[in-house]
Structure 1
C-alpha cells in the first residue's frame, strides 16, 4: 500500500510540466473560443441585418388617420412583424428631398409621394418566400395601394450569410480537430516521461484504474485552469470591443459569451481527460521491452 501511495505522490499535481501544459492548452482553447465566438456573433449579426431590412406598404391616397391606426395595430399583432412605423406624405417628401437633393413639387406642383407603413420583420421571415406570402396577405387590404421591397438585396443578404455561416462552421470543426491533436501531443509528452513509473506501478500490483487516477485528475485541472484563463481573455476582448464600438452590444451579447465560456470549459476538460486516458492506456498495454523503443 505504501508503494501505491508513493506512486500517487510521484505524479505531482502542480509542477513545471503542469504549467507548460496549461499554457499550451490555454492557447489552443483561446483559438477555439475565438472561432466559436465568431460563429455565434455571426448568427446574431445575421439576425440584426435581417431585422433591419424593411419593406413599405404604400397607402391609398384617401386613407384616413383612423384607418391607418387600425391597419398599424393589426400589423403589430402579426407574428412576423417586429416593428411598424408610419411615414406620412410630408415626411416622405422630406426624406426624398434629403436623399436626392431635389423637390418633386417644383416640377409637378404637388406632393406626389404617398403615405406608407415601414415594416421590419423578425429574422425568420426576412426571406423572399416569406415576404411574397406576406405581400399576398397584406395586399388584400383595400387601404394598401402597393407593397415595395428590395428582393435582390434580401436574396443577396441571405445568400452571403449562408456562405459565411458554412465557412465559420467548417473552420470551427477543423480547429476542433487541430486542438485535439495539439493538446494530445502536449499531454502525451508529459505522460511519456512517466512511462516507467506506470510500468513500476503495474509490477507492484496496482490496478489500471488506480494508475489512471492521478493522471486523469492532473489533466482535469489542466483543462479547467486553461479554460478559465482562456475564458478570461475572451471576456476581456469582448468587453474591449463593446467599449470601442457600443453598437456591437446587440451582437456581442452576454448570452453569446456565456455559451462560448461554457463550450471552452467543456472542450478543455473533455479533450485533456480523453487525451490523457488514451495515452495512459497506451503505456499500460506495453510490455517492458517496448518502453525502451518508444
Structure 2
C-alpha cells in the first residue's frame, strides 16, 4: 500500500516538473522567436530600402574624366551602399534584348545616356535625406536628370513605422504574458508543497533554509526549459538558413548570441523570483490559511 502511494507521489512530482519545464520552454521559445523576428525585420527592411535604386543620367558632353571623378566621389560618399555604371551602349543592348529588335537601326543614333544606378544605405532612404542627396548631385552641371521612386520611398518608411509600433506593442504584451505564465507554473508547483513548507517551519527551520531547495529546484527546471527553448530556436534558425540562404541570418552572430543568452537568463530570473515570492507567501501564512 505504501509502495503504491510512493509511486503515485513520484508520478505526481514528475508530472509537476514536466509541466513547469514545458511551460517555461513554450514561453521562452515564443519570446525568443519574437526577439529574432524583431532583429531580422530590421535587416529585411534595410535590405528592402537598399534595393531602391536612384538613377543618375549624364549629358552627352560628359567626358570619361568627369565620369571617373563622379565615380571617386561615390566611393568617398558616406551614403552610397553600392553603385553601377551603365554606359549608353550597354543600356541600348539591354533595351534591344527586352524589346526584341534593334531600335537604333531605324533611329540611326543612340538616344540613351550614360548613367549610374546608385543604391543608398538604409539610413539615407528617408524623404528628407534622399532629397538633400538629390539636391547636392544636381549641382553637377553635367548631370541631366535624377530618377527614383519617391512614392515608394515614402510608402516604405510609413509602413515600417507602423509595423515597428505594432511589434513594440506585441513585444510588451508577450513579455507580460511570459512573466504571468511562468509565475503561475511556479506558484502551482510551490502550492503542492505548502504543507511541507509549513511543517519545516514548525520544527524550527529558518525561512532561508526552507526557501533554498525550492528556489534551486525551480531554477534548475527553468534552466532545463530555457535549454530546450534555445535548442528549438537554433533548429528554426538552421532551417531558415538552409532554405533561405539569401537572408544571411547567421551573419550577425553577436546579436543572435545575445538573444539566446537573454532567453536563458530570462528563464532563470523569472523562475527564481516567482519561487522566492511564492515560498515567502506560504511561509507568512498561518496554518489554518493553508486549507
Tell me the residue number matched to 1:137. 136
Which secondary structure does the structure 1 equivalent of 2:84 belong to? strand
Determine the C-alpha separation between the residues in 2 that align with 1:284 and 1:52. 61
In 2, the alpha carbon distance for the partners of 1:251 and 1:153 equals 29
- Report deviation, 1:120: 1.1
- Structure 1 unpaired stretches of 5+: 1-13
Give 1:268's aligned residue. Answer: 267
Q: Distance in 2 between matches of 1:120 and 1:143?
A: 20
Q: CA deviation at 1:206?
A: 2.6
Residue 107 of structure 1 and its aligned partner are, at CA, apart by: 5.7
Please show how residues 111-260 of structure 1 align to structure 2 within 5 Å: 111-249=110-248, 253-260=252-259
Distance 1:265 1:99 in 2: 54
Whether 1:282 aligns to 2:288 is no
Deviation of the 1:96 alpha carbon: 3.2
Match of 1:7 in 2: none
Aligned to 1:105: 104
Verify the 8 A CA contact 1:60 1:145 in the aligned structure 2.
yes
Partner of residue 82, structure 1: 81
Q: What CA deviation, in whole Å up to 9, does each residue of 1:8-45 have, x standing for no partner?
A: xxxxxx95533331122111211111122211111110
Q: Distance in 1 between matches of 2:281 and 2:98?
A: 71
> Which deviates more, 80-89 or 207-216?
207-216
RMSD after superposition: 2.0
Distance in structure 1 (CA, Å) of the matches to 2:101 and 2:186? 70
Deviations 1:40-79 (CA, angstroms, capped at 9, x unpaired)? 1111101111112120111121112222111111121111
Distance 1:121 1:163 in 2: 22
Query: What is the count of residue pairs matched by the alignment?
Result: 279
Residue deviations 1:178-233, cap 9 Å, x none?
11121111111110011112112222333322222222211212222111111111
Deviates most, 163-172 or 113-122: 163-172
CA pair 234-252 structure 1, distance change in 2 beyond 3 A? farther
Q: Calculate the TM-score normalised by the size of structure 2.
A: 0.88
CA distance in 2 between partners of 1:204 and 1:278 (Å): 22
Deviation of residue 115 (structure 1)? 0.8
Q: Which residue of 2 aligns with 1:49?
A: 48
Q: What residue in structure 2 maps to residue 37 of structure 1? A: 36
Please state how far the C-alpha of 1:142 moved relative to its aligned partner.
2.2
Deviation at 1:165, TM superposition (A): 2.0
Q: Would the alpha carbon gap of residues 98 and 220 (structure 1) be closer, same or farther in structure 2, given more than 3 Å must change? A: farther
Distance, in Å, in 1 between the alignment partners of 2:34 and 2:279 is 30
CA contact (8 A) 1:56 1:117 kept: yes
Check whether the contact 1:44–1:251 (CA below 8 A) recurs between aligned residues: no
Q: 1:243, CA displacement in angstroms?
A: 0.8
Cα contact 2:55–2:147 (8 A) shared by 1: yes
8 Å CA contact retained: 1:41, 1:252: no
Secondary structure of 1:230's aligned partner: helix
Inter-CA distance 206–57: structure 2 relative to 1 (3 Å threshold): same
Question: Which stretch has the larger CA shift, 256-265 or 100-109?
Answer: 100-109
Task: Report the Cα distance in structure 1 between the residues aligned to 2:250 and 2:74, rounded to whole angstroms.
Answer: 27
What are the ranges of 5 or more consecutive residues in structure 2 without an aligned counterpart? 1-12
Q: TM-score of the superposition, structure 1-length normalised?
A: 0.88
Distance 2:250 2:45 in 1: 9
